[in-house]
């Protein structure tokens, strides 16, 4: 089988996939948490692995940076490899004042400045949302682990280095943080009739000169990964 972006064969990929942006983080997750991980993709160095977690098949694969990239990989997983559920695990920049470094964000919805939804030819603006059952379970797991969390809207932006000071407008509307992929993932899931959830760790803040050290990132991201694994 295979695609221009994925050399996996039918059956190589589990029904459930964790998707960080960085392929090396996918490698780290697979080698740290999964039993007997096997690499199924090296095309464009977008590494993907399948192993087991608590006896159940689980895959982890990088999704890249931005909506065009995760749009390609998640589309192929849903439509060409029979994947039923994708959990994005990534970092984000805080916007709201009460959002602190290291806290976990459960993305209930994803605002966007992207034109990704144009392809669906809808007579209005589509509101991409995550799977409620997955979100509810993520909240329960965060509570069990006493991991600080927030649930709400995130901003999936096409622009990292933005020429316009637009953060204030999103902050006024209650948007928790900014990242670059979840809206496309949620749209792909909706169009395919599949499940998706975005989990994020706050690694820096747009209104305060704060950012996590490499050690803090490792600890903070570990909390998020363990929630994702146990969904």
Domain boundaries defined on the chain: 16-229
Q: Catalytic residue at 204?
A: yes
Q: Token pair 């039918």 is at which residue?
A: 10
Instruction: Tell me the average pLDDT across 177-187.
Output: 98
Q: In this structure, what token pair is assigned to residue 36? A: 């007997």
Catalytically annotated residue among 22, 113, 158, 204: 204
Q: pLDDT band at residue 218, thresholds of 50, 70 and 90?
A: confident
How does DSSP assign 204-224, residue by residue?
EETTTTEE--HHHHHHHHHHH
Question: Per-residue pLDDT tens for 1-20?
Answer: 789 999 999 999 999 999 99
Q: Are 165 and 192 in contact (CB under 8 A)?
A: no
Question: Per-residue pLDDT tens for 31-42?
Answer: 999 999 999 999
Instruction: Tell me the average pLDDT across 84-109.
Output: 97
**16-229 under CATH 3.40.50.1580, yes or no:** yes
Residue 46 to residue 48: CA distance in whole angstroms: 7
Question: Per-residue pLDDT tens for 116-173?
Answer: 999 999 999 999 999 999 999 999 999 999 999 999 999 999 999 999 878 999 999 9
Above 90 in pLDDT, residue 213? no
């Amino acid at each position: 089988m295979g695609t221009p972006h994925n050399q996996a064969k039918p059956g190589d990929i589990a029904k459930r996939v964790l998707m960080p942006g960085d392929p090396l983080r996918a490698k780290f997750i697979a080698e740290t948490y999964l039993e007997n991980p096997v690499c199924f993709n090296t095309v464009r160095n977008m590494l993907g692995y399948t192993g087991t977690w608590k006896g159940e098949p689980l895959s982890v694969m990088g999704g890249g940076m931005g909506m065009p990239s995760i749009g390609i990989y998640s589309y192929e997983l849903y439509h060409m490899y029979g994947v039923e559920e994708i959990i994005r695990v990534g970092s984000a920049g805080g916007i709201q004042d009460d959002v602190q470094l290291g806290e976990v964000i459960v993305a209930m919805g994803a605002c966007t400045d992207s034109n990704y939804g144009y392809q669906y030819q809808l007579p209005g603006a589509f509101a991409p949302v995550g799977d409620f059952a997955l979100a509810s379970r993520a909240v329960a797991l965060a509570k069990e682990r006493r991991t600080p969390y927030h649930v709400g809207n995130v901003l999936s932006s096409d622009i990292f280095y933005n020429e316009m000071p637009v953060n204030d407008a999103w902050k006024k509307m209650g948007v928790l943080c900014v990242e670059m992929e979840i809206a496309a993932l949620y749209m792909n899931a909706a169009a395919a009739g599949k499940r998706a959830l975005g989990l994020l760790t706050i690694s820096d803040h747009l209104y305060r000169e704060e950012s996590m050290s490499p050690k803090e990132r490792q600890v903070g991201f570990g909390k998020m990964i363990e929630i994702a694994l146990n969904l």
